[in-house]
Amino acid sequence: MAYKISERTLAEIDRLLKIYPQKEAVLIPALHEMQKEAGWIPEEAMDALGARLNIPYARVKGVVTFYTMFNRLPMGRFHLQVCRNISCHFAGAAGMLRHLEDKLNIKEGETTEDGLFTLSAVECLGSCGTAPVIAVNETYHENMTVEKTDRLLAELRAENNSD
């Protein structure tokens, strides 16, 4: 069965097509919309989007695989992204990553068995003055310490349990 782009996302793509003069310019915003719904971009979604925009599948896949902001595998509800660039590295990001791996019992790139957390190391979150930084989905948590990280995990678990 072919991948079906949701009506909401199709409406957003149509809106974007009216704004941008070239269909190619809609590709990244459309991918963001698709990822908002599923949390990742499956192969079938890339193919469907390419067909919708009349852009070759290889071009769509090239964009998805080039930009680390697009997830190619299912993600946990909370995507923990630890910045590992130079400022964060010197401020202790490697230790933060190891702490999260130990605390969650997963390695970088894995998702907890309950599907709650996915752990990633990313190159730069652009918040060097507040290193180390951990992004949870789209929200930055700055000047992180082990203690702050433990509190953050507890808050995320509590949020999950309250939903």
CATH number at residue 54: 1.10.10
Task: Mark whether 110 and 140 lie in a shared domain.
Answer: yes
The string of pLDDT tens digits covering residues 115-153 is 999 999 998 889 999 999 999 998 999 999 999 999 999
21: preceding bond cis by omega (within 30 degrees)? no
Whole-model pTM: value is 0.77
How far apart, in whole angstroms, are the C-alpha atoms of residue 40 and residue 160?
19
Position 1 scores a pLDDT of 57
Q: What percent of the chain has pLDDT over 70?
A: 99
* Residue 61 domain flag: yes
Task: Mark whether 29 and 105 lie in a shared domain.
Answer: no
- CATH for 109: 3.40.30.10
Of how many residues is the chain composed? 163
For residue 74, CA distances in Å to 59, 71, 119 come to 21, 7, 12
Task: Mark whether 86 and 24 lie in a shared domain.
Answer: no
Boundary-marking domain end, from 66, 88, 112: 66
* Residue 72 domain flag: no
Using 50, 70 and 90 to split pLDDT, how confident is the model at 45?
very high
- Domain interval for residue 148: 78-162
Residue 91 DSSP SS3: coil
Listed residue (82, 81, 63) closest to 72, CA to CA: 63
Listed residue (125, 66, 67) closest to 96, CA to CA: 125
Task: Mark whether 88 and 156 lie in a shared domain.
Answer: yes
Number of domains in the chain: 2
- The tokens describing 62, both together, are 């090239």
